[in-house]
Amino acid sequence: MSEENMSMDDFSQAVDASFNTFKDEDQMAWEKVKQYREEKTVLTVTVDGIVNKGVVSYVEGIRGFIPASRLALGHVADLNEYLGKEIQVQVFDVDEEKNRLMLSARELLRAKAEEEKKAKIAAVAVGTVMDGVVESLQPYGAFVKLDDSMTGLVHVSQISHTRIKDPSVVLKVGDEVKVKVIAIKDGKLSLSIKALAEDKAAAEEEEIRNIKLPKSEELTTNLGELFKNLKL
């Protein structure tokens, strides 16, 4: 039926039908995003806009907000760097009545960083000697940052041969240290500074043991040569 031949009742019914279809589609969209939240579905979205304290992306046609604090693991200095980029997110809050959809990339980034950390630690062997920087001091030991993803603990008993009550007696934050990996358990590195000193002492002792003393006849000959050249 053409619009010219359509009565007011027909037109009204057509509008109602369109509106109902729109409502049904909108309801389905909200049901989908709720399902995404329950199943922790990983979604790839495009950052379509910048707003106060975050960015905007659309999921199933619904406007979603990603707070700056959930856009990265660290502080985001410039949100404009994300504009137009595709990122992976999860739905972390849905409120259909308030027309609110909140998205987050942080959990996925954290999981990825943790997997990379585990892979790096798995590649480290006990006995490996590494360079690091003292990141923090605790009464029980010093945490040493080895690279961007690995940190290990030097227990207070592994810092010095001399008994110390607190790591701050020997170390301070920012100190560059050389450490030896003495154990790996549950994805955590146990380090030692003391072990390197022990290794050095053992190497020096081994070197001394390997020194070859001259035989008695060689010693006699050498003494003979010495006295021969003396003028009495």
Number of domains within the chain: 2
Distance CA 47, CA 62 (A): 13
Q: What pLDDT tens digit does each residue of the chain (232 aa) get? A: 445 555 665 555 544 444 444 456 788 999 999 999 999 999 999 999 999 999 999 999 999 999 999 999 999 999 999 999 999 999 999 999 999 999 999 999 999 988 888 888 888 999 999 999 999 999 999 999 998 778 999 999 999 988 898 999 999 999 999 999 999 988 889 999 999 987 565 555 555 565 665 555 555 555 556 556 555 5
Residue 117 counted as domain residue = no
Residues 149 and 76 in one domain: no
Please identify, among 110, 139, 161, the residue that sits at the C-terminal boundary of a domain: 110
Residues 159 and 129 in one domain: yes
What dihedral do alpha carbons 101, 105, 106, 107 form, nearest 10°? 90
Q: Can you give the pTM of this predicted structure?
A: 0.62
SS3 annotation, 4-56: CCCCHHHHHHHHHHHHHHHHHHHHHHHHHHHHHHHHCCCEEEECCEEECCEEE
Residues 129 and 195 in one domain: yes
User: What per-residue confidence (pLDDT) applies to 116?
Assistant: 87
Per-position DSSP letters for 114-129, written without gaps between them: HHHHHHHHHT--TT-E
Total residue count of the chain as it appears in this document? 232
Residues 14 and 38 in one domain: yes
Residues 24 and 56 in one domain: yes
User: What is the extent of the structural domain holding 176?
Assistant: 124-209
State the maximum Cα–Cα separation within the chain, in Å, rounded to a whole number.
144
Three-class secondary structure of residue 152 per DSSP = strand
Residue 102 counted as domain residue = yes
Residues 17 and 69 in one domain: yes
Q: For residue 123, what are the contacts with CB-CB under 8 A and spacing of at least 6?
A: none
Residues 167 and 204 in one domain: yes
- CATH number (domain holding residue 192): 2.40.50.140
